[in-house]
């Protein structure tokens, strides 16, 4: 019996040592994470972005439309203003009262076929929007961010005839592409990564 209890204690001791080692490993990893965060914080790294402190508002004037597609600039401009509002870092105001301005042009609007059925009929269309954007500090008169030739796309299924689908789905596709562009542009402008 004493032998059994001695081996039980030995097994218990082994389990206890394994648990202690795991606990030490977890503590070491936690310490490493805390140390890394402190070092990065001390070096000026931030997860919030590096937008100048005086910039609290943004103006988004109507984008220029350099395409033959009517009204596409209005959809893009509205999408970008809404994305700034949703992001919450900057308040959207009239450009004349803004600390920063995000402006640009819609330089290309393309509609291309990307999928066909066995009869070579278009099944999926892709709308591609291309923009040039600039984000500038009004007070310091500096360019904070610029992106030329930025593209985004939206795909949509052909329902019936291609002409009917384009007529019905074009606006939805433009809004989808504009929303994607807006989220990316706002993230790049505000976070500046």
Q: Which residues of the chain carry a pLDDT beneath 70?
A: 1-49, 165, 192-193
Q: What is the pLDDT of residue 38?
A: 58
Give the E-state strand segments of 23-84 in sequence order: 57-59, 64-65
Full-model pTM:
0.68
> Could you give the CA distance from residue 161 to residue 159 in angstroms, rounded to a whole number?
6
Q: What is the pLDDT of residue 142?
A: 95
| Cβ partners under 8 Å of residue 6, min gap 6 | none
Strand partners, 129: 109, 152
Q: What is the pLDDT of residue 152?
A: 85
Mean of all residue pLDDT scores within the chain: 79
């Amino acid at each position: 019996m004493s032998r059994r209890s001695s081996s039980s204690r030995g097994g218990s001791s082994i389990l206890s040592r394994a648990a202690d080692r795991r606990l030490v490993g977890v503590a070491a990893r936690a310490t490493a994470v805390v140390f890394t965060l402190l070092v990065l914080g001390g070096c000026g790294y931030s997860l919030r972005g590096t937008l100048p402190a005086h910039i609290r508002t943004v103006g988004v004037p109507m984008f220029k439309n350099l395409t033959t597609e009517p009204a596409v600039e209005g959809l893009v401009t509205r999408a970008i203003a809404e994305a700034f509002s949703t992001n919450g870092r900057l308040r959207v105001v009239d450009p004349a009262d803004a600390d920063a301005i995000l402006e640009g042009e819609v330089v290309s609007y393309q509609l291309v076929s990307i999928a066909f059925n066995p009869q070579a009929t278009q099944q999926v269309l892709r709308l591609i929007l291309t923009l040039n954007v600039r984000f500038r500090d009004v007070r310091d008169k500096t360019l904070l961010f610029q992106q030329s030739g930025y593209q985004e796309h939206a795909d949509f299924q052909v329902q019936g005839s291609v002409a009917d689908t384009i007529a019905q789905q074009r606006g939805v596709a433009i809004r989808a592409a504009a929303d994607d562009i807006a989220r990316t542009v706002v993230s790049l402008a505000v976070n500046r990564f």
